[in-house]
Structure 1
Amino acid sequence: MSFSWLEDALTQRAQEGLLRQRVCQQYEKDNVICINGDHYLNFSSNDYLGMRQHEGVLQSYVEGLAQFGAGSGASPLVTGHTQAHLALEATLADGLNREAALLFSSGFAANQAVCMALFGQGSANAAATQLSSIIADKLMHASFLEGAMSLGKKVSLRRFRHNNVEHLATLLSGGGSQANDTLIASEGVFSMDGDRAPVKEIAALAEQHHAWFMLDDAHGMGVYGENGFGTVEELQLSQSQVPIVMGTFGKAIGTGGAFIAGSQILIDYLVNFSKHYIYSTAMPPAQAVATLYSLTNIATDTSRREMLSNNIEHFRARFGQEFGKSSVSDREERLDAVASSGLSLVSSQSAIQPIIVGCPKKAIALSEALKKRGMWASAIRQPTVPKNEDRLRITLTATHTEQDIDMLIDALSLANEAVS
């Protein structure tokens, strides 16, 4: 029978402690989520600033619905591109000091669009792709890496050691350095480790080698920069230094969708050659209206970003007090720490605070033990993260209180004792 292997694959994944299953949330209010009738303090949300429930964002969404309806009704190149989309794109371009911006349905689609439009068979330069090169951070998001790997042998894909500028320089100077087009890709804040890339150093290397630098700032948008426009605003990096910026709205901005920002030529090219843009129904205009409100509010009110920073500091201090461990960033040090004491906090100053457990089954057991104590903290396992780096991915928000964090640390201590 065709596809008879599907059940075997699922069974094997379950035996390895790696089976993924969805949960259905009934509602969420003030960081409390209800799942299957039970209530939990939520420490697994990417809504870093709590903008998803912001009264102004909700009201602007309602106003957008009244003006434009529930959806866009068409792809952007038919009749789906509205003044709401145009206003949001203009605000993004201005805030990022870029010539233009383009909206996408998701960060996954935006990352894939860049790879396929610049290097794929549908690109205008398809005949020369064998002379093209992509050099990406080892921990670059799966959406980008999958897009790059789908290009096949026509494009040279190499990966430099995580945040290792020296290794990147070696790759740029070594084989493949004669490529006609070279794209370097990294993230502003890495989604699984929560650490930040040496963006200025990478940008300098890119300029030195006449390469383009693409920054995936999905987890930096809204959090960093004077006005919340992320890493490039914070570091004041120009369009020539970072020619491609990708960001998403489903995290700190609190809505949904994504964008690419860069030169007018780049955006015009994507409009003409990106299948992910051309053949997708446009983002609902009401969503664009709400996103614009959120961006404007974040720019004018810094209190939420300040509260998030305080919560990060408090969490790390309490973890150290309870478990008596200093955080580590080096992979070998992490594994040693887990082997000796069971838990290791990654050296992250972002809202993403991963606790390395080292075993998928223990990660699941810890997560379940926390649920019994009213805490929701998702277990992240291989292949999403490297083998032996299975973890609890704690995410903090501006709307958590210090009492919430103290309760999490107390519950984590009891859960760790219960499963050890």
Structure 2
Amino acid sequence: MKEPLSLVWLRRDLRLHDNAALYCALKSGRPVLAVFIFDRTILDDLDDRLDRRVEFLVQEISRLHDELAKMGSTIIVRYGYPVEVWKELIGQYSVGEVFANYDYEVYAKERDEAVGDLLKEYGIGFQSSKDQTIFDRDEILTGKKTPYTVFTPYSRKWHDKLDSFYLKSYPTNDYFGQLWQTKPTPVPTLKDMSFQPVGEPFPPRTVPDKLLDNYAKTRDFPALPKSTSELSMHLRFGAISIRDLARQAKEAKDKTFLNELCWRDFYFQVLDHFPHVEKNSFRRQYDEIAWRNNEDEFDKWCRGETGYPIVDAGMRQLNTIGWMHNRVRMITASFLCKHLLIDWRWGEAYFGKKLRDYDLSANNGGWQWAAGSGTDAAPYFRVFNPTLQAKKFDPDDKYVQEWVPELGKANYPEPMVEHTMARQRAIDTYKKALAK
């Protein structure tokens, strides 16, 4: 009988360095084989066959494949539905145990439960570890042992608890001798999965210390080159270690970036403890808002033709490169929800289609913050003025001119809605809904 293997199922943790599940597998005493599944449950729903995220995944999986090949091992890569793929793997290999890292999305939990049930039928263990967050699940709780629903007290406890224990890397490199020695296996191409390459370079996977030292001064100005880390795509798929990044951020002169990582953890735990937020408002009463949901106005917003230059610049940046500066994400989201009174879920879904760094928890948290339906205490009367936001954060119009070259010309549209009227309309609509 073949020696049983420990299989490590990579998902949002595409690296060999400092990987909790891989470390546990390597320490199991069995030879270790890596597995990745291009999940058709997700990929089949993607309308655009030019998807930067899929291209990034193929790139990163190919990189892992080459790294493992140099050590005489490989990664088994399949394209299919997870339960069906695992049935095939169980039939093909002698599997002693499967290791993976937690995922906090509703679908991911259901997927892992289904795979766990299948493995149990065959007497195979399924062990999960924390990896994509610093703190998760029940590690940051209130004095009453309940999850936090407001960021500020959560962040205080998060920062107080942050020490070297939680930031220590898993020394996977010390145990690579446990990798199963076998010939390299092929990796599906974009074409194999009916996708096409966009062909654009992806951001680097490192961030200079100088940028973190000055993060509070630069992060809100979209025209500044390299004013944000642009690591979100690498973090989304675990191509870099959150622990390595948090150590670097903690050592920076400015702690603003470290607080951004705290926000990331916060939104993960909100999604984990309150899964209804994926489809509904965190504060249920906000589901009573009478959205206008004008499809023509939504289309203008999507195309970047609202007549508000900072909003249009952001949407065009998103449509062109699959990314938008975070300050502008807040401005465009607020405009859709408050100025146009269009359901935040419409905007969230559009960002979900376009963003190369799309992450459900952060995207949902950001949109609910903009809509006022999230974890803020009393935010419904916060309505960004796009004109004032542009003057404050793009005072020389450099960002706007890059993405809206027709600004000031006859073919640039007039504002589709007047700010003062729209603001009051939003406040009145929210107030009426919340009075029920």
Q: TM-score range with shorter-chain normalisation? A: 0.3 to 0.5
Higher helix content, 1 or 2: 2
What's the TM-score, normalizing by structure 1? Answer: 0.33
TM-score between both structures, scaled by the size of structure 2: 0.32
Select the structure with the greater relative contact order (CA < 8 A; seq sep ≥ 6).
1
**More strand by proportion, 1 or 2?**
1
